[in-house]
Structure 1
Amino acid sequence: MTASTLRRHNAQSAHRTVDIALTGVFAALIAVLAFAPPIPVGGAGVPITLQTLGVALAGLALGPWRGMAAAGLYVSLGLLGLPIFAGFSGGLGVLAGPSAGYLLSFPLTALITGLLARAVLRRSPPRWWIPLLFCAAAAGSVFATHPLGILGMSFTLDVSLQEAFLMDIVFWPGDLAKSLAGAGAAALLHRTYPTLLARR
């Protein structure tokens, strides 16, 4: 093995180690945010939580694949029984509850958010990062979190999609606020660590 090959191999190993560490850190962040006291709203039994802020941050900060991995790791550990979902719940039993669709949407939400965030950060000047990252986070919520959440409530509560949609509306203002907060935090993070989304 030549010296240049060895250096390249060592660099790739270091990158993989960093990726694994960041995935674990952001999965833990989502879990920590889930421990914030949930706010009950409506009659569907799905509270407002900060989990979705953590999912948005994973996509905005890590990009599509590592963000999806972090959200997927969080969901997988919760389904395996760790009490890391809202209300200190965990296990496969949550899939029978009205929050099932929202939880299962998290990896897809992070993927969509991360794809859009990566495009924003590579093609836009920093002064536009916050509004465009806000749009990226909101898009992940609109195209993944809410549709799957509505489907989940329709199935588990045995209601029509229209009824589930009306139950879901109450979460939109909070999600927009969390998208804005995530965009601000991610913009600051990328200004501080400009190579966070550098090509591997």
Structure 2
Amino acid sequence: MKNVRDLLYIAMMATILVILGFIPAIPLGFIPVPIVLQNLGVMLAGVLLGWKKGSLSILLFFLLGMLLPAFSGGTLFAVLAGPTAGYVIAWFFVPILVNLVLEGFKNTSFISYLVAILLGGVLFVDVAGAIYLSVYMHMPLVTSLLSNLAFIPGDTIKAVVASTIAYKFKDKLGLA
């Protein structure tokens, strides 16, 4: 860590993740995984804080989740014991993947943020979650992947919101 500002941003992002966990999840009925807003916070951690600080903020969030019901589904242990574990585990890798994709762009624009978030924060999480869900629920992988298509519209909206925030504020806040 370079300074107190970095620690503050890491703690603030973990706090945002906890706050987003208090917003009630939306059950879908046909799949035991609800729609949550916490993945918006994960997207923001990756695009605003960079891979190292973003991953540290998610790790801090996981540590808080061991002690507090910080997740939409309760504590970290409750979430890891259920069908959403694959999605949550994938969250740790989102900042790394988003920043790997961003490195492929010559400049950071709204489109580069959006593409990076869609690949590293939506596609990766949904596929990893679907694979785990398939194993956990003893359902065919194709069925699990197809049921995850229900998340794409909402996740795309979250990716647009995260990209807009990053594009508008990243340089002004002196992040990453």
Q: Which has the larger radius of gyration?
A: 1
Could you tell me how far 1:22 is from its partner in structure 2?
Answer: 1.2
Could you tell me how far 1:119 is from its partner in structure 2?
Answer: 5.7
Residue identity matched to 1:124? N
Unaligned runs of 5+ in 1: 1-12
Native 8 Å contact 1:42 1:170 kept in 2: no
Alignment of 1:3-14 (within 5 A): none
Residue identity matched to 1:35? F
Which residue matches 2:119? Answer: 139
Pair 1:109-2:102 in alignment = no
Q: How many residues align?
A: 176
1:54-88: CA deviations, max 9, x gaps? 0000111011111111112212321x23101014x
How many percent identity over aligned positions?
30
Pair 1:66-2:57 in alignment = no
Native 8 Å contact 2:122 2:155 kept in 1: no
Could you tell me how far 1:106 is from its partner in structure 2?
Answer: 0.5
2:107 paired residue among 96, 99, 124: 124
Please report the TM-score for the alignment, with normalisation by the length of structure 2. Answer: 0.90
2:167 paired residue among 162, 184, 187: 187
1:86 paired residue among 26, 49, 72: 72
CA RMSD of aligned residues (A): 1.9
Alignment of 1:150-165 (within 5 A): 150-165=130-145
Could you tell me how far 1:109 is from its partner in structure 2?
Answer: 1.3
Could you tell me how far 1:23 is from its partner in structure 2?
Answer: 1.0
Native 8 Å contact 2:42 2:121 kept in 1: no
Which residue matches 1:41? Answer: 28
Residue identity matched to 2:54? G
Quick one: distance in 1 between partners of 2:41 and 2:87?
13
Quick one: distance in 1 between partners of 2:147 and 2:88?
16
Which residue matches 2:80? Answer: 95
Could you tell me how far 1:97 is from its partner in structure 2?
Answer: 1.0
2:152 paired residue among 155, 172, 189: 172
Aligned residue for 1:86, secondary structure, equals coil
Native 8 Å contact 1:137 1:179 kept in 2: yes
Quick one: distance in 2 between partners of 1:72 and 1:148?
18
Quick one: distance in 1 between partners of 2:172 and 2:86?
35
Quick one: distance in 2 between partners of 1:153 and 1:43?
13
Residue identity matched to 2:95? A
Please report the TM-score for the alignment, with normalisation by the length of structure 1. Answer: 0.80
1:30 paired residue among 2, 6, 17: 17
Residue identity matched to 1:34? G
Native 8 Å contact 2:14 2:58 kept in 1: yes
Pair 1:196-2:167 in alignment = no
Residues 1:178 and 1:156: Cα distance change in structure 2 (over 3 Å): same
Unaligned runs of 5+ in 2: none
